[in-house]
Amino acid sequence: MSKKATLKLHDAQSSRDTRRLPIDQVGVKGLRYPVQIADKAHQRQNTVATIALAVDLPHHFKGTHMSRFVEVLNSRGRLIHVENIGKILRALQKKLDSRAAHLSMEFPFFLEKPAPVTGSVGLMDYVARFDAAADGARIDFRVTVRVPVTTLCPCSKAISTRGAHNQRGYVTLTVKFKKVVWIEDLIALIEESASCELYSLLKRPDEKFVTETAYDHPVFVEDLVRNVALRCKRHPDITWYRVEAENMESIHNHSAYAMIEKR
């Protein structure tokens, strides 16, 4: 081993800081990593997540050791399983000598969806996110899904003699639960609350169906978040929820927005 390799290098991160300001979260963001997600239809789904890892930093430390976050993640192997999230948080707490640790992972989630009339199958992609935090011995876990839907304006339908304006809307639902809730079930809960759900593949009979379905089920953005919230309240395993909806208005140059959070 060369002298260069054995040379002790200065550890600037561990030096003392005199400003007496603790940092709530410090770490790394934008890590892309292969993950394996539970899939209701096929047991497992392989995808790629964008991951953020963080810990708290006491006021007397100048910095944290960024390389240790990546070391902890890589120690789980070439593929991250969701079941390991708790172990990753515990490893971060131990490796970085911190009370609190945070992990978030956002990834595309795919579903095979048959068209409503012809049954033509296409793949739909959704955005899903897991947020987990360990504070001492306690772990908090939340699941978020972002689902595109169709919404048709009740006011436009009521005042127009020919049609009504509709648009694509996006619903972002975050939940906590006492028993695991499938991502697929959260997606279905949202889609049932809209004027109509979206499909990746539609033939003409399917297009007729979704157009008329949306017309028969008009919803304001306010209706949309209330519909989702009511379904969450009735769900036996959801203990907390936050639902946001944004309609990308087709007749305005702005979007319409609403949010409900369980207190």
List of domains in the chain: 24-261 (3.10.270.10)
**Rounded CA separation 235/241 (Å):** 11
pLDDT for the residue 64: 79
Which residues lie across from 123 on neighbouring strands?
Answer: 112
**8 pLDDT higher than 80:** no
Q: How does pLDDT run across 47-68, given as a tens digit for each residue?
A: 999 999 999 987 667 777 889 9
The whole-number pLDDT of residue 19 equals 76
pLDDT tens for each residue of 93-113: 999 989 999 999 999 999 999
Burial of residue 64 (number of CB atoms within 10 Å: 0-12, 13-18, 19+): buried
Better-scored residue on pLDDT, 77 or 108:
108
User: The tokens of 247 are what?
Assistant: 């309609």
Q: What is the pLDDT of residue 5?
A: 57
Residue 21's pLDDT band, with cuts at 50, 70 and 90, is confident
Contacts of residue 48, defined as CB under 8 A and 6 or more positions apart, other chains included, come to: 32, 33, 34, 35, 107, 108
pLDDT of residue 95: 92
- Can you tell me the distance from the alpha carbon of 193 to that of 190, in angstroms, rounded to the nearest whole number? 5
- Proportion of the chain above pLDDT 90, given as a percent: 80
Question: In degrees rounded to 5, what are phi and psi of residue 195?
Answer: -70, -40
Q: How far is CA 97 from CA 3, 14, 57, in A?
A: 30, 12, 9
